[in-house]
Chains A and B, each alone.
Chain A
Amino acid sequence: MNTAMTANGVIIDYGMGNLFSIKHACEQAGIEAKVTADVTALMQADLAILPGVGAFGDAMKTLHALDLVEPIKDFAATGKPLVGICLGQQILLEGSSEFGSHKGLGLIPGQVVRFDNPKIGETTLKVPNVGWSQIWDTKSEAAANASDTARPARWANTPLRSIDNGTYMYFVHSYYAVPDDDAVALTWTSYGDTVFCSSLMKGNVIAFQHHPERSATEGLSIYDNIKTMATTALRG
């Protein structure tokens, strides 16, 4: 494998969220990342990252206003990695009930819902969920806070191939994705008694509710793996 090969990435700039930490994480991994809303640059990129912090409705409105909705779908159709992060994950789904009903990009069948009274025993947890939580291969491991941290075989050909089951990642969110098909859920995480899908992968469309770029060494290795996927795809 030619790991020296750099990948050209585009971080889609639609005015939502801290793009700088993503850019820095890309640079660490050898991804030359351009922060831009330019469609030509997007279509030429080896991989695209869809970031986002804020509200689902605003994000979709802005993507429409910038004429980015169709180009993002076109990019997804090229087979090159499209990576959604946080709100950028959520808008890959079909819709959300956040502040009214909103239509998403629909690249992954499913909906986005708000935490509904997550609890530990009798104590209601705060929403948003802010902090470090573990990502697990299966729903039941997430529910049980399992102790077996062996690398899941299912993650072998995914951006998680280098990390252990139950690795801690940094989350900030009030909503989470509910895919129609559990098979597209790459990881599961619990917040109190609520178990939610924390990352998704459907072909070349990859998405994380957490922030790998803010999740220390393990998070950075996810960027390394994304780069490898992009350059491997390049060499055909």
Chain B
Amino acid sequence: MNIRIIPKLDIKGPNLVKGVHLEGLRVLGKPWWFAKYYYEQGADELIYMDAVASLYDRNSILEFVRQTSKEIFIPITVGGGLRTITDIREALRAGADKVSINTAAIKSPNLISEAANRFGSSTIVVGIEAQKQMDGSYEAFMENGREPTGKDVFAWAKQVEELGAGEIFLTSIGQEGTGKGYDIELTRRVAESVSIPVIAVGGAGTPEHVHDVISKGKADAVSMASMLHYNFIEHCDINKEDFCEEGNIIFLQSGKTSYRMNQASIGDIKRHLLENAVSCRPTA
């Protein structure tokens, strides 16, 4: 089995953003730069998350999906703010291959089965945002990590599988954006409790972290954002003036290329995996 490496693009209006613990979003540039670069660098899939979809309208991300799906020929998953069957259909019609739903699935679990029946299980990814509790348990959150749900992550994971989800996109809120490594225990416990693929996200800082969440965490696929984004910004010749002046652009204007964040490219990650006996599709 070949592990998939899936860059995650958090999109806010016209910009690609990145935060820490899903908060404090900083503008890093235009989503298109990143999407196209990762495609050419050998990403196995891409995931676009609309960072503020529940607060704003969704037209900008759908337009982005429409544009990119004409030029990017790997699977694209779209998430963030999808609430209804109609929302899902719109995302798929815009060119998404899969959708990721979280808040709406928690509020109405039947949406999972209804969507799976209508569009096929393989099209429906359920996002689970997990927050470790003082007693060591994990609680599922919604609304981009802002709202507790009272649901136990592992019980919820089994339930979404039974309802027909095709994959689980598992975020560790505690590790997200920190670069300190994935939550191995969380990932392993979810991956072992379901028979559908689990995509781990949150905390990647080095290729070793990616290897750990596969070998120890039993992840079937791995997603990451900051580590790749800061690498891209440092190595690519982009015109940093060429972005929309909206949101927190202080970082871009500062001319800094990194921010206490380790970085690696998709090629670095895949080479490290292959050297350590984890199979994946090699980059060219």
Residues in A156-185 with C-beta less than 8 Å from chain B? 168, 170, 172-173
Partner of B123, one of A20, A53, A131, A215: A53
Residues in B43-71 with C-beta less than 8 Å from chain A? 44, 69-70
User: How far in angstroms is the closest Cβ of chain A from B2?
Assistant: 5
B4 within 8 A of A: yes
Interface of B is mostly: loop
User: How far in angstroms is the closest Cβ of chain A from B191?
Assistant: 9
User: How far in angstroms is the closest Cβ of chain B from A127?
Assistant: 7
Interface of A is mostly: mixed
A25 lies within 8 A of B73 (CB) = yes
Stretch at the interface among B90-98, B105-113, B206-214: B90-98
Sort A-B residue pairs by CB-CB distance and give the 8 closest, nearest first.
A54-B120, A132-B281, A53-B120, A168-B281, A172-B122, A20-B95, A131-B4, A24-B70
A97 within 8 A of B: no
A131 lies within 8 A of B221 (CB) = yes
Contacts of A125 in B (CB 8 A): 1
Q: Give the residue among A128, A133, A192, A211 with the most B Cβ atoms within 10 A.
A: A128
Q: Interface digits, B247-284 against A, CB 8 Å rule (1 contact, 0 not)?
A: 00000000000000000000000000000000011000
Q: Residue of B at shortest CB range from A213?
A: B73
Q: How far is the CA of A173 from the CA of B1 in the complex (A)?
A: 13
Contact A120/B74 with A21-B95, A216-B39 known, Cβ cut-off 8 Å: no
A120 lies within 8 A of B1 (CB) = yes
Contacts of A21 in B (CB 8 A): 69, 73, 95, 97
Q: Residue of A at shortest CB range from B194?
A: A126
Q: Interface digits, B150-171 against A, CB 8 Å rule (1 contact, 0 not)?
A: 0000000000000000110000
B104 within 8 A of A: no
Q: How far is the CA of A38 from the CA of B44 in the complex (A)?
A: 35
Contacts of A211 in B (CB 8 A): 75
Contacts of B184 in A (CB 8 A): none
Q: How far is the CA of A20 from the CA of B73 in the complex (A)?
A: 11
A17 within 8 A of B: yes
Q: How far is the CA of A54 from the CA of B115 in the complex (A)?
A: 11
Interface residues of A, count at CB 8 A: 36
- Listed A/B pairs (20) with beta-carbon separation below 8 Å: A18-B97, A20-B92, A20-B93, A24-B73, A53-B120, A54-B119, A126-B1, A129-B1, A130-B122, A170-B44, A170-B75, A172-B166, A192-B1, A211-B75, A214-B73, A214-B75, A216-B39, A216-B73, A217-B73, A220-B73
A130 lies within 8 A of B167 (CB) = yes
Interface size of B as a range? 20 to 34
Q: Interface digits, B68-104 against A, CB 8 Å rule (1 contact, 0 not)?
A: 0110011100000000000000001111110000000
User: How far in angstroms is the closest Cβ of chain B from A53?
Assistant: 4
B4 lies within 8 A of A132 (CB) = yes
Q: Residue of B at shortest CB range from A192?
A: B1
Residues in B210-253 with C-beta less than 8 Å from chain A? 220-221
Q: Residue of A at shortest CB range from B116?
A: A54
Q: Give the residue among B44, B97, B196 with the most A Cβ atoms within 10 A.
A: B97
Contact A17/B95 with A125-B1, A170-B74 known, Cβ cut-off 8 Å: no
User: How far in angstroms is the closest Cβ of chain B from A70?
Assistant: 25
Q: How far is the CA of A212 from the CA of B95 in the complex (A)?
A: 15
Contacts of B75 in A (CB 8 A): 170, 211, 214
Contacts of A16 in B (CB 8 A): 120
